[in-house]
Structure 1
Amino acid sequence: MEVRLTIVGGKASRKAVTVKLPAVIGRSREADLTVAHPMVSRRHCELFEAQGLVRIRDLGSLNGTLVGGKEITEAPLRPDDEFSIGPLTFRVEYEYAGDVT
């Protein structure tokens, strides 16, 4: 599964990148998506797929991972949800079938 991440606000606003899951986000060059900022840990968080839904997991970062403004250890991400690491906030976009009734 691929996920499009768009930066919300700040100088890099509307800059977007597509990542293939699972993907580690962090300051390290070995991360799938590198964010070069001192408030971002080397391996800050991971995006992964579980039952067709994107989830985010904090990887023991020093400054935490926020979803909807709340610090999480792990949480689901639906299309248009936002998460923050360090000074950056990302909007999540992907194809989600959702609950079919």
Structure 2
Amino acid sequence: MQARLVSLDGQVSVPLNNDINVVGRKEGICDVLLDRGNVSKLHCLIIKTDGLLLVRDLGSTNGTLVNGQRVSRGALLPGDELSFASLKFQVQFGAGVDGEVSPADRTEVMPLVPESGIAEAAIDSLSDNLDEFPLPEL
């Protein structure tokens, strides 16, 4: 999944290349390096998993905000505003990021079940066996 943070003025675009991205000002450790005194050395994590983007604050002094609300952890949606101290970014991920849709993000079209009666016969054969599994009395 492609994901990135774009500054609200559109001047800066930061790709989130790893499954776990460390945000902060500590060189050599942080994947997203924000060189500002009001950003903690290890500010937060941005995690990509199963098509979702999650954020977890690492006890930062000035907090991590999603759409203006301070969070310790939470899910991010495309278009959310993510703030680290005074730095504000728009969250972008999923279809449309970099103009490409990855195979994992595509909707798979499944064929229709034929109307041959096979499905009905299978359901009937299963329901014939229900007496073998009595339900407890309440």
Pairwise same-fold verdict (TM > 0.5): yes
Higher strand share: 1
Structure possessing the higher radius of gyration over alpha carbons: 2
Please say if 1:17 is aligned against 2:5: no
1:26 to 24, 27, 31: 24
Identity %: 35
Point out where structure 1 has 5 or more consecutive residues left out of the alignment: none
What's 1:2 paired with? Answer: 2
Per the normalisation by structure 2, the TM-score is 0.63
Output one character per residue of 1:48-99: Cα deviation in whole Å (capped at 9) or x when no partner.
Answer: 02332101000111111000100000011111111100211111111166xx
Amino acid at match of 2:93: Y
Quote the Cα distance in structure 1 between the aligned partners of 2:69 and 2:7. Answer: 18
User: Considering only aligned residues, what root-mean-square deviation do their CA atoms show, in Å?
Assistant: 1.5
Whether the 8 Å contact between 2:7 and 2:90 is mirrored in structure 1 is yes
Higher helix share: 2
What's 1:47 paired with? Answer: 46
Please say if 1:74 is aligned against 2:73: yes
Amino acid at match of 1:6: V
Quote the Cα distance in structure 2 between the aligned partners of 1:38 and 1:69. Answer: 20
Q: Where does structure 1 differ by over 3 angstroms across 4 or more consecutive aligned residues?
A: none
Amino acid at match of 1:19: L
Quote the Cα distance in structure 2 between the aligned partners of 1:49 and 1:19. Answer: 9
Point out where structure 2 has 5 or more consecutive residues left out of the alignment: 96-104, 106-138
Per the normalisation by structure 1, the TM-score is 0.84
